[in-house]
Structure 1
């Protein structure tokens, strides 16, 4: 197989793609919080946080929660 995973880089982090609330949820996710913990921190139901995470993953073209957290941590 040509092109190893080492040569792959995620697309640039599109800051403008996220709302202020999505940025907050993403920051907490990057800290390792669960959906329930994030919900308590930002006063949202756990299901709503789940929806936010799904939307953020779509916007940032992330395939897993871990990938999303790593990309968020790198942008700091």
Structure 2
């Protein structure tokens, strides 16, 4: 179970980015993977496991609710 989350993520990034593009250099691949994770996966792609929110939205909601409790 320890690796299930990261294995799922690897499967998603391969299907949504890696297999769809041909990278000319390692630097280009690193840049595109970074952009995918930071700008699409975390900010635009909704996730069913967190109530169909983006990770950025969910994190913001978490911190807002924890401020109200404290």
Structure 1 and Structure 2 fold alike (TM over 0.5): no
Q: TM-score, normalised by structure 1?
A: 0.28
What TM-score, normalized to structure 2?
0.30
Whose helix fraction is larger, Structure 1's or Structure 2's? 2
Q: More relative contact order in 1 or in 2 (CA 8 Å, sep 6+)?
A: 1
Q: Give the greater-gyration-radius structure (CA).
A: 2
